[in-house]
Structure 1
Amino acid sequence: MSKRLDKLREELARLQADAFITEKAENRFYLSGFTGSTAWVIVTAKDAFLVTDFRYVEQAQEQAQGFTVIDNERKAIDAIARVLKENGVKRLAFEGSSVSFQTYSDWNKAFEPVELVATSGLIEKIRMYKDESEMVIIREAVRIAEAAFEHIQGYIRPGVRESDVALELEYFMRKQGATGSAFDMIVASGPRGALPHGRASEKVIQAGEMVTLDFGAAYQGYNSDITRTLAVGEPDPKMKEIYEIVLQAQLAGLAALRPGVSGKEADAATRDIITAAGYGAAYGHSAGHGLGLEVHELPTLSTVSAFVLEPGMLVTMEPGIYISGLGGVRIEDDVWITENGHENLNKSTKELLILPV
């Protein structure tokens, strides 16, 4: 954690701020290792504090190594104010996107004369770069999801509900060590495949339909995110054609992922192929996003992304085509940017699987 605090302190020096405060769960965990549901992390130029309540003091002392743990004695705002005063904090950086106006108003009054400095994406930009310790966890999250995909191929058949598929996927991943699903699973069959975020419904899967599965495993705080589209019996020839277009677009997008490539260029590598095939209007989302403690984080791969890929970044690559009334196809992998190119964490086949009926 010390390297992460060092990077944060460099940012604080740049902002001419004396301290930083966060209550956001992902950023709190990233900086301290604390997994409880209630706490405030305060980092100064020399020290780090974790303010929490009686329920979590012992847990925090065990998890937040190097932090001074403070029992807020049921009034956190006063405990935070004391920390700021005792450490001579005059300018306090906070996360403008996650602090409500009411909280800001309360802090402004309670912390006076401390100046509150709003920041945007301060920790998220540090989190873009995954180290080896994080990648060990993320690789396991990917392995669990891949094993679940292999398992579910023997479960999907005509007559099974989408919701049953989602339940079976989550049950299997938990048995493999996941703490749960990374997000509400997408299981979209037949015409529902045209819904990019078609969460599992009570619809019954029919023979001849394509099924899009978008899911991931939550494991030790981190997430995986995989999408595969398969067929239950022989699909419509049009859907097979669309599948091949999406596959070629996804492979082209993967080939583009390397240091120095912008998010806009990576997106274009997929979009140019889909547009040339006549389906540009049916590809309405970005090519990918960052992945880690949150399922969607920085950097972005989109038509307007200004991010430039660098070693250590972890992104998804997930082009798709969606045709109302017919269905849709999306294929997604999790990719770590390396010094010489990238490492695709996913090994599951992307050739069209046609399950027997």
Structure 2
Amino acid sequence: MTAEISHAEYESRQNQARDLMAQGDLQALLITDPTNLYYFSGADYFGEMSYPRPAALLIPREGEAGLLTHAFHLAIPWRGDVREYQKVGELPVDMLKELLAEAACESGRIGMELGREQRLGMSHMDFVKIQDALPQAAFVDAADLIWQIRMAKSTAEVAIIQRACEIHDAIFKKVFSAVKAGMTTGEIERLFRLAIAESDADSGWTVVCVGDFDERQAAGSTHPAKVLQAEDLLWVDLGVVLQGYHSDYCRGLVPGTLTKERETLWNQVQEVLLAGMDAVKPGVPVSAVYQAQVRKAQALGLDMQSWKARRFGHGSGLHTTEPPYISGEDQMVLQPGMILHIEPGCIQKDGIYVREEQVVVTQSGCRILSQTPWQLTQPP
């Protein structure tokens, strides 16, 4: 049974936000993005991205939170102050202003999703209306505050992600056992999509690449289709979504003879990954994980500049990629509960040599959540 996010956990997240608001001199946090609404209240607006029926969650520094939502969306796990409206097409500014007034938040600094990797869940014109209706309020960026809370996962969140990885592993095992030379990338992609649909995942995605690196394939397209030959390297990136949380890691397969040169390069990229994994410890800047991989790659003589992700991994959670990012610039300090995807690689004319493992930061290092064997698979 997969863990559920409880009302108490939503309250805890809101209280963490209040603590950070006090440090940043914010009167309130006004949440409108569907992902953040889900995170702080459990209200699921993902299906239609809530464009015609926007919502807003007010978390005041003092007092109870209030959620303004359309009557169409009332299946909400958080049992707080929920207020519904009827009109479709815009957020009712008068009701939002009333909510802010009751919380004594009509003036002062109000944090919103204005910065790094954040989006408002309303039109720009609706935001202007809110600003005009509250001339004494200063709307400021709260992206860092939001990410500070979201990056460190709770026990319940890690349990959901662990289950997503178990489903992910089962899909790789099922599909890789059916892959044969002569199949097209389109046929292989359909096998993965069918396996996702038949699994316990809520949804998922896949990228299927064969042979020479193709920019269109990197963007998620398998068209035009390529035929998998016995000597080819099949590289598949896969992700599943469970209760909003993501798995994401890739694996490789060679249907015919595995050459020594190909196996050596794959194993060397694995050594780079392990160097990064060994560097993962709470209190360490994420850039140290990147530098550990760079040093190992240089020692092995590997050119990682061909890996166009321009980083050696990332975080995840309610998005496939989230902060922190395993790059030389990211100085975010690792904490227990953070989810990392350690992902070094290099691109060759004969295929994509990218390795990826999904781990959770622990008190002493990290624990691997992805359990599909890392070696290049060879069908029987």
Indicate yes or no: 2:378 matched with 1:354.
yes
Match of residue 256, structure 1, among 261, 273, 279? 279
1:113 matched residue in structure 2: 136
Query: How far apart are the structure 1 equivalents of 2:226 and 2:36?
Result: 38
* Residue of structure 1 aligned with 2:321, choices 293, 296, 303: 296
User: Could you give the per-residue CA deviations for residues 122-152 of structure 1, whole angstroms, max 9, x where no partner exists?
Assistant: 2122111111111111111000000001111
In the TM superposition, residue 64 of structure 1 has moved relative to its aligned partner by 2.3
- Could you list the per-position Cα deviations for residues 182-228 of structure 1 after superposition, in whole angstroms to 9, with x for gaps in the alignment? xx422111113788825241222222100111111100110101111
Among 173, 183, 197, the alignment partner of 1:150 is 173
* Residues 1:332 and 2:356 aligned together: yes
Once the two structures are TM-superposed, the CA of residue 301 in structure 1 deviates from its matched residue by 1.0
Report the counterpart of residue 313 of structure 1 in structure 2. Answer: 338
| Aligned counterparts of 1:84 and 1:252: Cα–Cα separation in 2 | 50
SS in 2 for 1:104: helix
Alignment of 1:345 onto 2:373: no
The counterpart of 1:93, out of the listed 77, 90, 111, is: 111
Deviations 1:207-257 (A, max 9, x none): 210011111110011010111122121245443332121111112211221
Q: Is the 8 A contact 2:152 2:337 kept in 1?
A: yes
Runs of 4+ in 1 over 6 A off after TM superposition: 193-196
| Cα distance in 1 between the residues matched to 2:226 and 2:217 | 16
- In 2, the alpha carbon distance for the partners of 1:267 and 1:56 equals 42
Residues 52 and 70 in structure 1, CA contact (< 8 A), matched pair in contact too: yes
Pairwise CA RMSD of aligned residues? 2.0
Tell me, in whole angstroms, the C-alpha distance in 1 between the residues paired with 2:56 and 2:126. 13
**Is 1:225 matched with 2:243?**
no
| Match of residue 68 from structure 1 | 81
Please list every run of 5 or more consecutive structure 2 residues that lacks an aligned counterpart in the other structure: 1-9
> Does the aligned pair in 1 maintain the 2:31–2:113 contact within 8 Å?
yes
CA contact (8 A) 1:264 1:306 kept: yes
TM-score by length of 2: 0.86
What is the distance in 2 between the residues matched to 1:167 and 1:304? 38
Report the more deviating stretch, 342-351 or 141-150: 342-351
Contact 1:193 1:322 in 2 (8 A): no
**For the Cα contact (< 8 Å) 1:191–1:326, is it kept in 2?**
yes
Residue-pair matches, total: 349
Question: Aligned partners of 2:151 and 2:323: how far apart in 1?
Answer: 6
**1:8: Cα distance to partner?**
0.3
2:161 corresponds to which residue? 138
Alignment partner, residue 66 of structure 2: 49
- Aligned equivalent of 2:7: none
Instruction: Name the CA distance, whole Å, in 2 between partners of 1:232 and 1:110.
Output: 64
- Name the aligned partner's letter for residue 302 of structure 1: S
Q: Do 2:208 and 2:217's aligned partners in 1 also have CA atoms closer than 8 Å? A: no
Cα pair distance change 1:263/1:246, threshold 3 Å: same
What amino acid is aligned across from residue 318 of structure 1 in structure 2?
A: E
Matched-pair contact (CA < 8 Å) for 1:187–1:211: yes
**Consecutive unaligned residues in structure 1, runs of 5 or more:** none
Match in the other structure for 2:55: 39
Partner of 1:12: 21
Tell me how far apart the structure 2 counterparts of residues 306 and 4 of structure 1 sit (CA, whole Å). 24
1:271 pairs with 2:279: no
2:96 matched to which residue of 1? 80
Decide whether the 8 Å contact of 1:180 with 1:217 is kept in 2. Answer: yes
Corresponding residue for residue 163 of structure 1: 186
Q: Secondary structure at the match of 1:328?
A: strand
Secondary structure of 2:153's counterpart equals: coil
| Contact 2:63/2:103 (<8 A) preserved | no
> Is 1:186 the counterpart of 2:210 in the alignment?
no
1:326 is displaced (CA, Å) by 2.4
Partner secondary structure for residue 6 of structure 1: helix
1:4 shift after superposition: 0.6
The C-alpha deviation readout for 1:315-336, integer Å capped at 9, x for no partner, is 111111102x322211111111
Q: Distance in 1 between matches of 2:39 and 2:166?
A: 22
Partner-residue secondary structure (3-state), 2:268: helix
Q: Percent identity?
A: 25
SS of match in other structure, 1:177: coil
Calculate the TM-score normalised by the size of structure 1: 0.91
Question: Which residue identity does 2:276 align to in structure 1?
Answer: G
**Code of the aligned partner of 1:354:** Q
Structure 1 residue 29: deviation in Å?
Answer: 0.8
Could you tell me whether the CA contact under 8 Å between 2:251 and 2:376 is conserved in 1? no
The letter for the 1-side match of 2:355 is I
